[in-house]
Chain A
Amino acid sequence: GENVGLHLPTLSVQEGDNSIINCAYSNSASDYFIWYKQESGKGPQFIIDIRSNMDKRQGQRVTVLLNKTVKHLSLQIAATQPGDSAVYFCGHAGGSEKLVFGKGTKLTVNP
């Protein structure tokens, strides 16, 4: 069945460092992948997405890497700032509109 999970439930970094948040998925039919950020008490906020015909996509201070061979997705945040502190979810969809999310990694940025 479909499964989206994260390798680490928490990640703590120093302000200015780069952060890497990892995600594994099991559905080989997945063709759309997405990262969301959720701050306490708020709705998920889109960060970046990537389709299965790509292995890397860059946004503002963020990069998503997709390794379809090992079914692994990662989010890299450059020069992490205190405002980046939040829970980060990966998600995927495989030929449907249903986004399946992982449990999330809580990122804490220490000043």
Chain B
Amino acid sequence: EPEVTQTPSHQVTQMGQEVILRCVPISNHLYFYWYRQILGQKVEFLVSFYNNEISEKSEIFDDQFSVERPDGSNFTLKIRSTKLEDSAMYFCASSMARNAEAFFGQGTRLTVV
């Protein structure tokens, strides 16, 4: 069964450093997403990406964040100048269409120290 894969599973970084979280969405999907989940809290939308550009973003997704689809398979989330409060699980997801079943990856646990 096709799945969304994310690497690394766990990333520890020092405050102020930049991190890149990587995702390989399902190959024939067209919409890509990043969500985050702070420990014990709900899953929050960060950004959606379609047709090689950001289609929607939340208020969380400020200039500290950026996304890229550098080739036909990878989808990355870059977080610049990380802060302690960026510590969370980051989930990548993809879907065939808008407002359709989105498949989530297993997540990257980001710990900022």
Query: Is chain B found bound to chain A in the same assembly?
Result: yes
How many residues does chain A have at the interface if contact means C-beta atoms less than 8 Å apart? 23
- Add 12 more A-B contacts to A31-B99, A51-B99 (CB < 8 A): A32-B99, A43-B4, A43-B104, A43-B105, A43-B107, A45-B104, A89-B42, A96-B56, A97-B33, A98-B45, A98-B58, A101-B44
A→B interface (CB under 8 Å) = 31-32, 34, 36, 38, 42-46, 49, 51, 89, 93, 96-104
A42 to B55 alpha-carbon distance, docked (Å): 26
Q: B65 at the A/B interface (Cβ < 8 Å)? A: no
Q: A43-B91, A44-B91 are in contact. Are A100 and B45 (CB under 8 A)?
A: yes
**Which A residues lie within 8 Å of B101 (CB)?**
34, 46, 49
CB distance from B55 to the nearest CB of A (A): 6
B→A interface (CB under 8 Å) = 4, 31, 33, 35, 41-45, 48, 50, 55-56, 58, 91, 98-107
CB distance B58 to A89 under 8 Å?
no
The 6 closest A-B pairs by CB, nearest first: A43-B104, A97-B48, A32-B99, A101-B43, A98-B45, A103-B42
CB distance from A38 to the nearest CB of B (A): 8
- Selected from B44, B99, B103, B105, the residue in CB contact (under 8 A) with A97 is B99
CB distance A97 to B55 under 8 Å?
yes
CB distance from B100 to the nearest CB of A (A): 8
